Every structure is written in structure tokens, then in C-alpha cells.
Structure 1
Amino acid sequence: MNYHRPSLDLAGAYRDACLAELQALKPGNVHVFADIGETRVADFEASARASASAIGQPGASVGARILGAIRATHETIGWNTNLGIVLLCAPLAVAAEAKGALRAALAEVLRGLDRNDAADAFEAIRLASPGGLGSADRHDVREPPTATLREAMGEAAGRDRIARAYLTDFEDVFETGLPALRQARAAGLDEPWCATSVHMAFLSRFADTHIERRRGREQAEAVRARAAEIIEAGPPGPASLATLLAFDAELKKGDLNPGTSADFTVATLFAAAIMRLPAAGT
């Protein structure tokens, strides 16, 4: 199956994936149902639009897209809203420009990452200054890279699921996110509920590493277990609105933001757009 046509608007597909994720009720994260403190949906919408052209820049490398997107976000908003999203979507955008199946093309892209990609990504990470960023014995982003971007991600893979994706050829997107999206769309759910289904699939299956870095493994696992209980009681949809809103309030009261699950949700929606999965009602 050939997923990509030259006419595909990657910048538009990326922007739309970011904006669609914000329309979904994602417990603990930013969405149109509720902001988080001073963190506003409008900031994420602005960063989605600002970073889109860099992600969709034809022929650009993974590192150049990452750095360009984070620079644009920083210039527009002045703080980090989308580093994880950009780190996941930049390789997908490069793979979308190749012929053939997206997953196979992505594997080639990830194997081809070099030190220039690492240097650009390191600069982007320093600029974004994400929460929980510490020092590392090897491949510290504050130092010039001595390895490829994929090798550097390998150092963080045990504590960051986004870094792990670079080693597994985005296994989580293809084996968790996309199946959840297909199932939700097959059930006839509206697109926001489809995105909620994807978010809850990630949140219920894996301890969110953003929560883990900020609040510890025990808290992250407790959130995962609670999400799994909710899913077992019934799939996300209008009937589960009250339950999900209560879970959302519970997480926000405890300052437990599953940002990694949200980032993977955007990546899944972006991959689906590249692959042209059918939308709800089609």
C-alpha cells in the first residue's frame, strides 16, 4: 500500500492533527473542556500553526524540522508547548515523503539519522527547556553530540517513551494508537471522541513517562491503572463523558499531566492523515 501522494499537505496535516487533539477530552491534559492553570488551549493552537511549516518543509532533515518547529514555537509563544509532538512528528513527515508503506519508510529514516540531526535536536531541546530535563552521563543535550540522534535517544529510552519510539520504529503509534483509532472510527464515533479513545489507549496501557519524570513511577502507574479501569467499564464516548470529566479533574487536582500520552495522540492522528485512514462517517 502506497500511503503518500506528492500533493499531501504535510504542514496542514500536522497542524490539523495538533488542533484535533485539543478538541478531545484527554484526562489530565490541555483540551477545550478545561485548561491547566495558566496553560491555555490558545497557546497550543498558536504553536501548532507556528510550527507547521517547519514540520512540512519539503526535503528538510529530521533535525532541521525539529529545530525549525521549536524555534517557531519559541518565537510565537516563548515557552514549550510541543517538544514531544515535534520529536514524534518530524520523522513521520520525512517518512511521508518516501515511497511505499509509512512504517517501512519511517524505519529507514530513523536508521539514517546522523550527528547533524542530533545537533539540531539538542539545540531544540535546550531552547524548549522541557520540565524534568536533567544532566546525563552521555549524550547530554548541553554538549556537542558524539553520536547520531537515534543513538542519543537510546540513552533516554528507559525513562522517556518518546525516546524509546526512535528505537522501536514508533511501535506505540502503529500497534497501540492506530488500532485504537481504527476501532473508534469503525464504531462511528465523532473525531474528538476518536482522539479521546487514542489518548486513553496510551494512558491505560503504559505508565506515562511525563508523569513519571515529574511525580515518580508509583504515581504514573496509579494513573495507568485507573485509566485501565475506566476503559474496562466501557469505551470512550458520550456515555462516558461524566466519568472522563471526573478523571480529568482528579488528575489536574493532583498535578498529574499525562503529556506523553497526549503527544503520542497527535503523532497517531498525523500518521493516520499520512496513511489516509477513513474519517468517521466515511
Structure 2
Amino acid sequence: MSPQRIAIAFRAACRAELDALKVGNVHRFAAGHGMEVAHFEQAAEAAAPYIAASGVHVGARIEAAVTASLAVAGLNTNLGILLLCAPLAAAAERNELERAGTLHGALTLVLARLDMSDAEATFRAIAAASPGGLGQHPEHDVAAPPRIDLIEAMALAAERDRIARQYVTNFADVFELGLPRLNELADAAPEARTEAVHLAYLAAFPDSHIVRKFGLSIAEEVQQEARRIAAEVDFRAPAAERHPPLLAFDSALKARGLNPGTSADLTVATLFAAMLEGWLSP
């Protein structure tokens, strides 16, 4: 894919995520956590050309996109999205796809080539975004120059951070959970498919962002509630039927300050991957 098409797909994935009622997150049906939809739109627009920059290292894409996003939004709205989408964008370039045959195969090649320069740039990006927990480890901290490569750093964080985990599992959650759920609902409305993917992630594991801020037990409570809601909602039904239970859950989470941001980031990555693979239109 050309850089222009990759950038279009990235912007479209970010917009599609905002158009859906993703419980506990910022979306067009309700703001939350001191953020508005406009913050995310501005950040996506600013980040897109850097995420899609042809031939550029993954770490450099992440750092440039974070810098551009912070400049326009004034706060961290999309670090997780950028960490997930930069490797996918690199995998979608024509030479990678021709070599591997599939996006997932190309992603394997991209991740295998990550080096110390990727770690250095990514550490600087994470430190600039100040996400509150990601990258802190007794021996390796993003505030200091890295002594290990990016995959090793992500492996250290993988047990406590689901985004880091994607780097050491070849994005297993995206390709084995998110994309299959999206495909199951091919006959549903676009917003409903996004809502279903987000809730599938939230129901599958404790959200890392909630774990970092509130602890594992609270995150597990949210996970159990997400499982209950996911079983009740018919995602092929019109919004008038889908949205009441989702809005009630959304309000309850926001009233407690609970933001399942990792599930939202994985949802954007899923939509982006589907667009890069060509079976979801930007």
C-alpha cells in the first residue's frame, strides 16, 4: 500500500472507533475523563502522515506521531494506538507484503527487525506521553536510555500490559480475537461491529489501563460485567435496541472514573488491520 492509502486507513480507523459506543471510553455519544472527541480527531489527523511514513523505522514513526499528537491535542490521547498501529503500517508497505504474502506474515518480519534505535525512539515517545505505568520496571525504565531492544522491553511489560504483549505474540489478540469478531458480524452496521469488538476485548481479559490505575480486582469486575453485557446485546439489532444497556454500562464506568483504554486501542488496531487487509473500507 502507498503511504497515502495507509494514512487514509489510519484516520478512518480512528474515526470509526469514535463513531461507536465504546463503553467507558470517549465517543460521539458521550465525552468522558476530561477528554472530548475533538482531542482524538486532532491527534489522529496529526499522527497519520508519520504512522504511514514510507521506509521509516517503527520507533521513529511512533516518536514523530506522539510528538505531533501532543502538539495539537495538548494531552496523551493515542499512545497505545500509535504503539499498535506503527508496526501494522510498516507491515502494509508493498515490499513487506510482497515478501510475506499476508499482513500478519509481514508483521512478523517487521517485529523481527526491531532494533535499539526503535527502542530508543519508543522510550522517548512513551516518556513524552507520560501514560502512567507503561514502561516502568525495576531494571529498565523509559525515562533512561534503553539497555535492551524493543522486543525485550515489551516482553518485560507483557504480563501487565496488553499492548506490550502484542509485540511478543505477533499481535495475537488482534488477529485471533478482534478480527474474527469483526468478521462474524459482517452483516451488522459498522458502529455495531466496532462496539462488539471493543466489548469482546473488554470481556476477554482485565483491561491494562484499568489495572494500572485501579488494580486487578477492579479490572476483573469490569471484565465480568462486560461478559454479561456482551451476552445480552444483539449487535445486529438497530442502535435503539443496542445502545440502552451499553449507555448504562458506559455511564457507570465513567461515574467511577474507569477508562478501558487498552480495549479501545486494540479496537482501533483491529479496524486498521482490517482496512489494510482490504476487507473493511476506509
User: TM-score under structure 1 normalisation?
Assistant: 0.94
Counterpart in the other structure of 2:89: 93
Q: Among residues 7, 13, 31, which one is paired with 2:9 in the alignment?
A: 13
Does residue 244 (structure 1) correspond to residue 246 (structure 2)? The answer is: yes
Counterpart in the other structure of 2:204: 205
Shift of 1:194: 1.1
1:165-194 deviations in Å (ceiling 9; x for gaps):
100000000011001111122xx2221111
Counterpart in the other structure of 2:188: 189
CA contact (8 A) 2:275 2:281 kept: no
Shift of 1:111: 1.3
Residue 118 to residue 7, structure 1, CA distance change in 2 (3 Å): closer
Counterpart in the other structure of 2:268: 266
Does residue 174 (structure 1) correspond to residue 175 (structure 2)? The answer is: yes
Q: Measure the CA separation in 2 of the matches of 1:260 and 1:38.
A: 17
Q: Measure the CA separation in 1 of the matches of 2:188 and 2:203.
A: 19
Shift of 1:107: 1.1
The residue type equivalent to 2:245 in the other structure is T
CA contact (8 A) 2:116 2:150 kept: yes
The residue type equivalent to 1:194 in the other structure is R
Structure 1 spans left out of the alignment, 5+ residues: none
Shift of 1:240: 2.2
Q: Which moved more, 1:85-94 or 1:95-104?
A: 95-104
Shift of 1:230: 1.1
CA contact (8 A) 1:191 1:279 kept: no
User: TM-score under structure 2 normalisation?
Assistant: 0.94
CA contact (8 A) 1:138 1:155 kept: no
Does residue 40 (structure 1) correspond to residue 36 (structure 2)? The answer is: yes
Counterpart in the other structure of 2:127: 126
Shift of 1:235: 3.3
The residue type equivalent to 1:252 in the other structure is K
Q: Measure the CA separation in 2 of the matches of 1:78 and 1:123.
A: 17
The residue type equivalent to 1:158 in the other structure is E
Counterpart in the other structure of 2:161: 160
SS at the partner of 1:137?
Answer: coil
